[in-house]
Chain A
Amino acid sequence: MAEVIYDHVTKRFDSVVAVNDLTLEVKDGEFLVLVGPSGCGKTTALRCLAGLEEVTSGDILIGDRVVTHIPPKDRDIAMVFQNYALYPHMTVYDNMAFGLKLRKVPKQEIDRRVKEAAEILGIQELLNRKPRQLSGGQRQRVALGRAIVREPQVFLMDEPLSNLDAKLRVQTRGELIKLQRRLGVTTIYVTHDQVEAMTMGHRIAVMNQGVLQQLDTPENLYDRPANLFVATFIGSPAMNIFPVKVVSGDGAYRLIAGEVTLEVPPSHRSRLADYVGREVLLGIRPEDLEVAVSNEAQRGDTVRLPVELIEPLGAETLVHLRGPAGTLIAQGEPRIRLNPGDVVTVRVRTEHLHTFDPQTEAAIF
């Protein structure tokens, strides 16, 4: 077990900068998720740590050892690949034992470790089978087992759940979390799925275009996104974003977009001082738009908007509203009775508003 440090790591492929000056510290025993859209550099960052890619500049440390120019086999890591990369001609047992045999671990020790890992993962019955005789979920376990038996300092996982069907993915996700907490091995987990990121990581590093956007706990990432990209990437359905004008008067700050006027809660006012008279981007999460069928009068935190579309998802209902600049999605009660064309009162939880600078896209509050 060890901590992992990326120290100003840059990786270029010809003219493309895949990872741009990444500095990041993963704590000992931490489950860190690297998340971002495809092509954001998260997999490249992981492969640099594995030693499968040579970094262009910067250093990588595992424990207190600089491993930047050390070959993969000497980095004391184990990696789980997206398609599992099991050796097709070897049995499950041999797949798991292969790395240990190469390291000349004594036979009894190999046997002990393989059987122990098989028990943890519940694959004792499969040890004599070949990978092609296994289901996707079983293969995934074998790939995990192969990593566990090595007892490495760090686990690297490259989208290990993305080849599983949706139901199995949710189940395996939970098991993987429990397993990591139990083994306590530092784990770096790459995914493009923000639900996986939110549920699995102690901390999450959001990347975009090779640049680290924010490194924080799931809660902070959700409630205090550092910029527009993080705000829209994390959360489903995505945060509603539209431009508003900042107006001050009567000792209050208001955000105005077309017919919609919202009052800024006092606690946030100071941050907006520089933006009075200018446009900013307003962000509201769907669950912070409360749809009420009632006909109450407009206040500082309510707006009246027409309904465009209803999406009943069972546990919740997504209500598409015609906002001042395009569609706004509100997360309504289950079994809500609405029809397209209805005009509804929407209460905005103004204490959870987000605003972003339109130029830098950095969060204002």
Chain B
Amino acid sequence: MTTTPVRTIAPGMPLPLRQRIRLWIESEPVLAYLFMSPGWLILLLFMSYPFFLGIWISLTDRTVGLPTGEFVGLRNYRDLLRDGVFRLTVLNTFIYGFVTVPFKLLLGLLLALLLNQAFRLRNVLRAALLLPWIVPTALSSLAWLMLYDPVLSPFSWLLKDWGVVEGSIAFLGSRVNAIVSLCVANIWRGTPFFAVAILAGLQAVPHELHEAAAIEGANAIQRFFAVTLPVIRGIVVITTLFSIIWTFADFQLVYVLTKGGPANSTHIFGTFAWQEGIGGAGKLGMGAAVSLYMFPILAALSAILLRYVRSQET
């Protein structure tokens, strides 16, 4: 609401400048933008500026070490489409993003259902569950690197000991092995997020609903589908979308475990962009173009996510 100060000046006379400015600032539309301006400023500085700079760089042949580059239009984008490694990178990213999520969801759901039961040490377990998610990925990935070591891997030793395999397994040695290994590590890291989010949802399921359903004749599985699932559906959808987005935009795990190898066969967008732009070739323009190929995919996923969240609000 705007408040009009009491005017002490006779009608018809122009107001003094200072008072006019004050009135203008205090008017609702102006004031609203003023309040929003710090947020806008931060967004502009730290989000929009790098984003648009990235777009600009992707349209040049700029390299690391040189201050400027030539404008080359969409050449970087065109060249990427013809690049076999980039096409493999796209495929890898989709595998990495979409194959791991169902596992994370299912395991997370099971863990959440388990941790929602009453038993001793439940709180200790709940806290321990979060560990994979809160340990810095670079660190936990190093642990996985040791687990996947071609010579010292405890997995290999165990399986050899049980007589399942003859020799050591080259977990990161071939494309298929490496991608499976990456997915397993990613599932390990991402499951707690699902578990914790779903656990929070489960605790919001009113106890009486389960009791009412039990009296009406529903067994545990029927109660899960009739009572639990509908209540936690929103959380499951949102968690899944978040997880897909994060997995798509991952970098650390793949970088530490394979650096995109062997022979550039396990790159995802993040690692390939880094290698093109900074790591190997130093072609900043090309690296930026790789990253920007991710943009429409992530934008679409984010749009779905936001639409869903808004539909739940109303």
A and B bound? Answer: yes
- Give Cα distance in the complex from A71 to B217, angstroms: 9
B200 located at the interface, meaning its Cβ lies under 8 Å from any Cβ of chain A in the complex: no
B interface, over-half SS:
helix
- Note all chain A residues with C-beta closer than 8 A to B50: none
Q: Shortest distance in angstroms between B202's beta carbon and chain A's nearest beta carbon? A: 15
Give complex CA distance A75, B227 in Å: 21
Distance to closest chain B CB from A271 (angstroms)? 47
Interface string of B213-248 (1 = CB under 8 A from A): 111111000100011001100000000000000000
Whole-angstrom distance from the CB of A18 to the nearest CB of chain B?
17
**A99:B216 contact, CB within 8 angstroms:** yes
A85 lies within 8 A of B206 (CB): yes
How far apart are B49's CB and chain A's nearest CB, in angstroms?
44
A79, B215: Cβ atoms under 8 Å? Answer: yes
* B70 lies within 8 A of chain A by Cβ: no
Write out the residue numbers on chain A whose beta carbons fall within 8 Å of the beta carbon of B217. 73, 99, 102-103
C-alpha spacing A26/B209, complex, angstroms: 27
Q: Is the C-beta of A221 less than 8 angstroms from some C-beta in chain B?
A: no
Q: Size of chain A's interface in residues, with CB distance under 8 A?
A: 23
Asked whether, in the complex, the Cβ of A50 is within 8 Å of the Cβ of B230, the reply is: no
Which residue of B214, B227, B231 is within 8 Å of A73 (Cβ)? B214
Q: Which of A75, A79, A82 lies at the interface centre, i.e. has the most chain B CB atoms within 10 A of its CB?
A: A79
Q: Specify which chain A residues have a CB less than 8 angstroms from the CB of B216 in the assembled complex.
A: 73, 78, 98-99, 102, 146, 150
Question: Is B263 in the interface zone, CB < 8 Å from A?
Answer: no
Q: Which residues in window 98-115 of A have CB below 8 A to B? A: 98-99, 102-103
On whether A81 and B211 interact (CB within 8 A), knowing A87-B230, A88-B231, the answer reads yes
- Determine whether B208 belongs to the interface, using a CB cutoff of 8 Å to chain A: yes
A34 to chain B, nearest CB (A): 18
B159 lies within 8 A of chain A by Cβ: no
Q: A83-B206, A83-B208, A87-B209 are contacts. A72–B215 as well, Cβ < 8 Å?
A: yes
Instruction: Identify which of B209, B214, B231 contacts A72 (C-beta below 8 A).
Output: B214
Distance to closest chain B CB from A158 (angstroms): 9
How far, in Å, is A87 (CB) from chain B's closest CB? 6
Residue of B nearest to A158 (CB): B208
Smallest CB–CB gap between A78 and chain B, Å?
7
Which residue in B208, B211, B230 is a CB contact (below 8 Å) of A89?
Answer: B230
Docked complex Cα distance between A87 and B223 (Å): 11
B230 and A85 contact, CB distance less than 8 A? no
State the Cβ distance, A288 to closest chain B Cβ, in Å.
43
| B208 adjacent to A85 (CB under 8 Å) | yes
Contacting residues of chain A (39-98) with chain B, CB-CB under 8 angstroms:
50-52, 71-73, 75, 77-79, 81-83, 85, 87-89, 98
A81 touches B212 (CB 8 A): yes
Output the nearest chain B residue to A84 by Cβ-Cβ distance: B208
What is the CB-to-nearest-CB distance from A84 to chain B, in angstroms, rounded to a whole number? 8
Contact A87 B227, beta carbon cutoff 8 Å: yes
Cβ-closest chain A residue relative to B230:
A89
A78 to B216, CA, bound (A): 7
Q: Which of A138-196 contact B (CB under 8 A)?
A: 146, 150
**Which of chain B's residues have a CB closer than 8 A to the CB of A102?**
216-218, 222
B208 proximity list for chain A (CB < 8 A): 81-83, 85
Q: List 20 A-B contacts (CB under 8 A).
A: A52-B214, A72-B214, A73-B215, A73-B216, A73-B217, A73-B218, A78-B216, A79-B211, A79-B212, A81-B208, A83-B208, A85-B212, A87-B209, A87-B212, A98-B213, A98-B218, A98-B226, A99-B216, A102-B216, A146-B212
Residues of B within 8 A of A (CB): 206, 208-209, 211-218, 222, 226-227, 230-231
Interface residue ranges, A against B (CB under 8 Å): 50-52, 71-73, 75, 77-79, 81-83, 85, 87-89, 98-99, 102-103, 146, 150
- Which 9 A/B pairs are nearest by Cβ-Cβ distance? A99-B216, A85-B208, A89-B230, A73-B217, A85-B212, A102-B217, A72-B215, A81-B208, A72-B214
